[in-house]
Structure 1
Amino acid sequence: MGQTLEVRSRKATNVTLPADVYEAGKALELNFSRVFEQAMREAIRAERGRRWAAENADFIAAHNEFVEQHGLPLAKHRMF
């Protein structure tokens, strides 16, 4: 069976880099698009996590306070 290639819509963009970073990347034959895409995906994941934590900070604090006062709800069933 052959491989199925995933086709994704791409959007061209310009990125400005310091000259030394550009030259080092070129010298190492790095794929700028692939490196930038991976870095953007990680930055997006991290920012979504940060925003989720900020949006849910009150619930997280209340839950942590409950656990401190009452322990874990199912602690008696833990095997470790």
Structure 2
Amino acid sequence: MQTQSVPKKPTNLSLDQALLSEARSFGVNLSQAAEAGLRLAVKEAKAEAWKRENAKAIEASNAWVEEQGLPLEKYRLF
């Protein structure tokens, strides 16, 4: 699988000294590891923001299902 080249920006980070030493001893690519961790953190933050932004709609949908039941429930096989 070929990855797209994206522009990179040099960044300074403050990291736990012991963790940094251990990562280096195992040959961990710090830039790749930091980017992977940051991608995960952003993904989780976006998911939480979406839940907050849509909480009222989700609550309304759940309330409707509680009152009315699932629209196609009679066709469920489980």
TM-score (norm 1): 0.87
CA RMSD in angstroms comes to 1.5
2:58 aligned to which of 57, 60, 68 = 60
Where does structure 2 lack aligned partners over 5 or more consecutive residues? none
Where does structure 1 lack aligned partners over 5 or more consecutive residues? none
Q: 1:78 offset after TM fit, Å?
A: 2.2
TM-score (norm 2): 0.89
Aligned to 1:20: 18
2:29 aligned to which of 2, 9, 31 = 31
Show CA shifts across 1:33-60 (max 9, x none). Answer: 1111111111111000000000111111
Query: Aligned partners of 1:70 and 1:62: how far apart in 2?
Result: 12
Q: 1:71 offset after TM fit, Å?
A: 1.0
Aligned to 2:9: 11
Aligned to 2:38: 40
| Identity in percent | 32
